[in-house]
Structure 1
């Protein structure tokens, strides 16, 4: 969910590709060494809804920065789609790649 400065709620779809070292989790089969997708999802929802954002470009950059800084992923590809934004298209969006 995305809220613009105009107080219009709009749905967004995020698609994330992330790179991080999974060896400790795989070697130990221990959840504490894994990246928790629910924690990531909850944090990104909070990030996107905590203040008004006008542009999906801004959403993409903030999401990438959060994943790189807070979750210590080494590389991320963030796709932000805005379904129904244009009458002649199913969805429009942006895609970025960032790394540390």
Structure 2
């Protein structure tokens, strides 16, 4: 017969490892990021390699958008914001360490009075 204490001793390391895997350290950690100015497609690949996040682009025409250089100790999310500022695109988190770049919705026109 298995005692509860024995079961906890065996199961505790397993649950601790699951908790570590579930910790959202993916994009919140700041890292040294250096991305040259260029096109969004290449910038997304470079950012993914440097931070370990997965970045997809929903509309391939967005891949050709010009992006500025991004350099600094940043989170992946902050670096994405800098890359996409003023581009007409936005990043949406799709999973723990995944992002999708989509065309930003256009603002609805204000009603004329």
Higher relative contact order (CA 8 A, sep 6+): 1
TM-score by length of 1: 0.30
* Bigger Cα Rg: 2
